[in-house]
Structure formats: C-alpha cells, structure tokens
C-alpha cells in the first residue's frame, strides 16, 4: 500500500504574501532510499516519491487518497501568531 502525507506547504524565506496558503499537497513517501556511493546523495529507485499532487481543499485530497487506496496522514498547518505593537515599543525598556 502506498503511503502519503497531506499538508499545506510553508512559505519560503523570500515570500511575504499569503498566495500559496490555500493549496493542499498530497506527497508520496519514497521507499528504499539509499546513499549514492559516488556523490553521497540520497537516491531511490522508487519514482513515486517525486510526485506531488495539488488540491484546493483538504477534503478533496483525503477523498483522492481513499479512492485510490492510499494510506495517508494529515499534517495540520500551524496557526500564525501576530503580535501587534507600535513602533515606539521598539525603544522602550520594559
């Protein structure tokens, strides 16, 4: 049975907007990973690990996994915590 994880990808360090936070990704876990003796890279003969499927909702990703007999785990996104403060608070000693 194939295994996969369903998640929302996190932003890279260069992204400041909220543009890619609405897509859910179903990513297959690769099997039989090994170290390439020549270059030292991690490699695998299982090419399904390269497949990433995008879905508009978490429910659609779960439905796809169930319909195709894929074992899955859902990774919930972390909630963002905003600390609202004024510019003057940068200079106060508290």
- State how far the Cα of 52 lies from the Cα of 25, in Å rounded to an integer: 6
Between the CA of residue 53 and those of 2, 11, 39, 81, what are the distances in Å? 14, 18, 29, 29
Alpha helices in the chain (DSSP H): 58-67
Query: CATH for 1-9+22-31+47-94?
Result: 3.30.160
DSSP state of 54: E
Provide the sign of the torsion angle of the four alpha carbons 65, 24, 7, 42, taken in this order. positive
Q: What percent of the chain has pLDDT over 90?
A: 38
* pLDDT recorded at residue 10: 80
Domain extents in the chain: 1-9+22-31+47-94
- Which of 1-5, 47-51, 67-71, 90-94 is least confident? 90-94
In this prediction, residues 13-41 reach a mean pLDDT of 79
- State how far the Cα of 15 lies from the Cα of 9, in Å rounded to an integer: 12
């Amino acid at each position: 049975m194939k295994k996969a994880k369903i998640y929302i990808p996190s932003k890279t360090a260069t992204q400041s907007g909220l543009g890619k936070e609405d897509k859910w990704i179903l990513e297959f876990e690769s099997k039989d990973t090994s170290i390439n003796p020549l270059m030292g890279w991690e490699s695998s003969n299982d090419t399904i690990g390269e497949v990433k499927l995008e879905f508009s909702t978490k429910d659609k990703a779960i439905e796809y996994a169930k319909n195709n007999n894929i074992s899955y785990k859902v990774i919930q996104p972390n909630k963002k915590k905003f600390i609202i403060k004024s510019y003057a608070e940068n200079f106060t000693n508290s």
